[in-house]
């Protein structure tokens, strides 16, 4: 009885330990928990793609009261010590606390860098466009200021007016030595009106876009134009105040100028001359006691064949010979015959007539003091205008050359037109 019981215990122990063959065959024919059929022994079918092969269920822990050895083996297998995962520490030279911040900084840099590059590119393009527009504005200003001959207040048109003024003053100097003349006065007044500069047109241009030297030349030129115009306007006002004196002086000058019908040989010359007086070396001569010096005498008609011509033509009649000029030392005296002094002589013989050369004293004696003073200042004013006009014309030529060079330059490309 005891033998059967002991063999049964050993058989159960082997079965529990998986050493009994019958137990293995019995377990191999059991169906799977998911409803599948366990393949026959010896067949190892691969699982479908993406499906992990099923893991065998862990062995059931036997009851320690029934099988103390099996329980101990199960506990030993379940408590098997596995090797801990290996941790590799890398020293990158940075503190641990900077790892997170460096990662954030990199993200910020990745976001900010394109923005900074785009901003820098935009600023660069804007700066280039601004400089190009500034340069192009300078070219436009140069072309606008240069203009043409028909555009008022432009350099070319103003230069033409200044050239006309110089021409009129040169003609006046040649004909009258800047003395009053109604015809020239009208021309000067008309030119002064043309010198009116449209400041809105000139200073509206962006002078700061031009070259500093060129901009200075522009300002200097138009300042000179304003100065010349002011000189002409002042001259016109002062001349208007001296009209009465100048008119009186002109009347006196005309009255004391020899007319062709009075003496054709002395036409347009003053009616006055100098008579040289000296005592004669001949004691029996009527001039032996004559005074030594010069006398201011009035000239008269010609003497023909030793006689005064009274035909009213200022010339000798046909067949007559002019032998001298009439002169007198007193306003109401009769004219006496005198001969003009010949040129090229070292000394002037007595009783010879010398004509008066033009000068201020002669004119003052003829026209009067007030008229002479007015005319003197008249001439002085126009002399100064002529000097300033020549200088202004030279400035206009230089400025025109500079503006032409600037206007002919090519424009620069700009992103923003």
pLDDT digit string (tens) for 267-295?
999 999 999 888 877 777 777 787 888 88
DSSP per-residue letters across 387-412 = HHHHHHHHHHHHHHHHHHHHHTSPPP
pLDDT reported for residue 35: 53
pLDDT reported for residue 297: 93
Considering the entire predicted model, what is its pTM? 0.51
Residue 168 CA to residue 158 CA, distance in Å, equals: 16
Across the chain, which distance is largest between two alpha carbons, in Å? Answer: 223
CATH topology of domain 135-247+371-407: A middle domain of Talin 1 (1.20.1420)
Cα dihedral 277→278→284→285 (10° resolution): -30
Secondary structure element (H or E) that encloses residue 293, with its range: strand 293-304
Residue 169 CA to residue 173 CA, distance in Å, equals: 6
Residues 6+ apart with CB under 8 A from 70: 13, 16, 17, 61, 62
- Output Rg (C-alpha) for the chain, integer angstroms: 65
Contact 348, 276 (CB under 8 A): yes
Give residue for tokens 């010609």: 302
Residue 327's SS3 state is strand
DSSP per-residue letters across 357-391 = PP-HHHHHHHH-HHHHHHHHHHHHHHHHHHHHHHH
pLDDT reported for residue 382: 95
CATH 1.20.1420 residue ranges of the chain are 135-247+371-407
Secondary structure element (H or E) that encloses residue 235, with its range: helix 212-241
pLDDT reported for residue 374: 86
Residue 374 CA to residue 239 CA, distance in Å, equals: 8
Task: Please enumerate, as own/partner, the contacts of 242-245 that have beta carbons within 8 Å and a separation of 24 or more.
Answer: 242/374, 242/377, 242/378, 245/370, 245/371, 245/373, 245/374
Residues 6+ apart with CB under 8 A from 18: 24, 59
Instruction: Please list the pLDDT of the chain residue by residue as tens digits (417 residues).
Output: 555 555 666 777 777 766 655 544 444 445 554 555 556 665 566 666 666 666 666 667 777 677 777 777 777 666 555 565 666 666 666 665 554 555 676 666 667 667 766 666 555 555 544 554 444 455 455 555 655 566 666 778 888 999 999 999 999 999 988 988 889 999 999 999 998 877 666 665 545 556 677 777 777 888 899 999 999 999 999 988 787 888 888 888 888 999 999 999 999 999 999 998 888 777 777 777 878 888 899 999 999 999 999 898 999 998 899 999 999 999 889 999 988 887 666 677 778 888 888 887 888 888 888 888 888 899 999 999 999 999 999 998 988 888 777 655 545 445 454
């Amino acid at each position: 009885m005891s033998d059967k019981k002991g063999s049964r215990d050993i058989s159960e122990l082997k079965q529990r330990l998986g050493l009994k063959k019958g137990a293995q065959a019995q377990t191999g024919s059991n169906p799977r928990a998911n409803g599948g059929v366990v393949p026959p022994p010896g067949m190892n079918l691969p699982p479908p793609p993406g499906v992990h092969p099923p893991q065998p269920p862990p062995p059931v822990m036997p009851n320690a009261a029934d099988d103390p050895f099996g329980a101990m083996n199960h506990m030993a297998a379940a408590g098997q010590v596995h090797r801990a995962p290996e941790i590799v520490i890398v020293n990158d030279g940075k503190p641990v606390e900077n790892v997170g911040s460096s990662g954030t900084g990199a993200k910020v840099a990745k976001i900010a860098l394109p923005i900074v590059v785009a901003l820098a590119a935009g600023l660069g393009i804007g700066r280039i466009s601004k400089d190009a527009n500034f340069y192009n504005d300078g070219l436009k200003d140069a072309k606008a200021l240069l203009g043409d001959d028909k555009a008022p207040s432009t350099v070319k048109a103003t230069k033409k007016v200044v050239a006309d003024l110089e021409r009129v003053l040169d003609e006046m100097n040649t004909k009258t030595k800047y003395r009053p003349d109604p015809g020239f006065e009208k021309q000067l007044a008309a030119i002064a009106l043309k010198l009116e500069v449209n400041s809105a047109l000139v200073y509206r241009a962006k002078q700061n876009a031009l070259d500093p030297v060129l901009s200075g030349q522009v300002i200097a030129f138009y300042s000179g134009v304003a100065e010349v115009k002011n000189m002409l306007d002042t001259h016109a006002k002062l001349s208007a105040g001296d009209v009465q004196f100048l008119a009186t002086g002109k009347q006196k000058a005309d009255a004391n100028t020899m007319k062709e019908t009075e003496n054709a040989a002395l036409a347009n010359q003053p009616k006055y001359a100098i008579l040289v007086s000296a005592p004669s070396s001949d004691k029996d001569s009527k001039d032996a006691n004559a005074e030594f010096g010069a006398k201011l005498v009035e000239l008269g008609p010609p003497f023909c064949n030793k006689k005064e011509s009274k035909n009213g033509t200022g010339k000798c009649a046909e067949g007559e010979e002019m032998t001298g000029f009439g002169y007198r030392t007193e306003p109401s005296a009769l004219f006496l015959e005198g001969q003009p002094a010949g040129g090229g002589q070292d000394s002037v013989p007595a009783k010879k007539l010398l004509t008066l050369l033009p000068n201020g004293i002669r004119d003052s004696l003829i026209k009067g003091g007030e008229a002479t003073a007015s005319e003197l200042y008249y001439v002085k004013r126009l002399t100064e205008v002529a000097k300033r006009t020549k200088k202004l014309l030279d400035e206009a030529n230089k400025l025109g050359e500079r503006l032409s060079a600037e206007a002919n330059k090519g424009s620069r490309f700009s992103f923003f037109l």
